[in-house]
Structure 1
Amino acid sequence: MAIGCVVCMESKAAAAFPGSPLTDRCNHAPRTCLECVSGSIRTHIESGLSTDVPCPECTGIMSSADIQRYADSKTRQRYDELRLYRVVEEDEDFIWCSAGCGSGQIHEDGLAQPIVKCASCGCKTCFLCKVPWHVGLTCDEWSSLVAASAADDTSAQTLLQRAEELRASKDTIDQTTKPCPRCSWNIEKNGGWCVV
């Protein structure tokens, strides 16, 4: 006896369909073939939006055991990775590498030592700001720079370049000037006097 799949609309033998509801949350007989169930799971997992995979026929969410039963091996592996990512992201000491290498780590020093060096690629990330380390700027200075640049949609890379320029300027000022003994402004001594 052939049954029509509600997804691919093909008539298939009963053996091509699950023998029981896809999840314990489904209250209907399965009318989606095993191939389409697997494809539905794969599409949902590849989207990366959520590890909550619904039945293709209703809103019932499949359990981990359901996913393991009906998905292909590559999809099962990706599903397990996504679930692991979701669990570690809930740890307040976890941070993703800002270089985008796909690595992340637990940083137990938190705010006391905000520089996190990626164990995979070596990139330095600010634990508080969640961006590449802003060399020469405190987190407050970085936040001020971000706030000042928000109006013109400046990218994080451009902000980091500006931060580097500010640090270089500050280094130059520190190396070439001294505070005036009379007014305390930084001056470059050239033999003259500061006039107030």
Structure 2
Amino acid sequence: MDNDLELAIKNTDDLKRVDQESKDPLLAQDETKLDLDSNHTYRLNSKGLVSKELIKDDMMLVVGLGWSLCDSHDNTKLETNKALRKKKLAHPEPAELAAIIHGLNQAWKLGVKNIQFFCDDSKILAYVTRKATPNESIVAELLEKVFLLQTEFTSCQALAAVNRDDINSVIKLAKDAIASQTRWCEGDTEYESCPVCYDYVSPNDKFEVSGCFHRICVTCMREPFSSEQILRGNTAICPYPDCENDLVPEDCRDFADANASTIMIQRKKEKAIPVKYRVYCPNPSCSFLMSDLDLVRNNPRQSEERKCTECGLTFCKKCHVPWHYKKTCDEFKKSESYLKSDAALLESYVKTEGCKKCPQCQHIVQHGGGCVQMTCRCKHEFCYTCGAACKNKKLTCDCSRSGK
């Protein structure tokens, strides 16, 4: 083994343990007891990430490395991570290669003879399979160390990553390593920096966002979930700068505005059902959202009769009222029962207030003045005057755009 593997392997002065209570297998070989078969082919997943973090009052580039070793039956043998503060590694490609180097080196020291390592970055895969040559000297230097490590194994093969769960797990390990660098103690009190408001908070007052794994203080996490923003139609996304990861309302119930969470969960459900198949129960105390595709499968007669899967009410999909037995929709709309129904009152209100229903989803919209070209919340565009659908964001009817 080349003693010159000080870069990202031997130079432990720049390494920070993520969990101070645990032993790093690389640094404490004698205490690591792993049941490994020298004839078995193991799989290595790794990830190197770079992040600009506020550590006390200084902005620093931190490299987070995460890797996991498992057998061909997906039994995880080892998961570990490290953080580095080496400026020449603080770029995406060097960070990725440093993670591979650490993972291969650790597998070799644990006695693994046959290994496959996976890359989710196509450029890195091209480098390690010698299909491309890097231009940057630091990348070339690290690549040579990967090639050198490969010779230490009986077999060592680089492959494209295909299992997203495996990649997400090592991404989280790398993110955890980065997060560990923003933590410090003052006396007996532990603090972390919030990358959004730059305030110092207790680690217990931070929330880790699913998917992107950013750790944000609870105060900043409440902002995207305010009822005001949600009612304006804004999507709740991670507040970390330049992150566009959608927040999961169910995960944020402990600190989010309760009303906003309910709205977000409803919109998430609506989004999963195509507009033309959305059906709401007409029972005012229920209003449960269903997919008409599911309801039709349970209704072999193919009529407008539907049954709410939540409260059990049988109703008419077309009239949006409890089912009118032995009457057609036209007959029912002329009856006294319909004239007294909530649906009739709503129709009357719509006409009186000069509102219209979206031709696609039947949601009530009101013209606030200006151009008659309307866009419903379901994204359907139509003429407010006659209801004709727009095409390529232009009116298809002869109505005046001003509505006069």
TM-score band w.r.t. shorter chain: 0.3 to 0.5
Q: TM-score, normalised by structure 1?
A: 0.43
Looking at secondary structure, tell me which structure has more strand per residue: 2
Looking at secondary structure, tell me which structure has more helix per residue: 1
Q: TM-score, normalised by structure 2?
A: 0.24
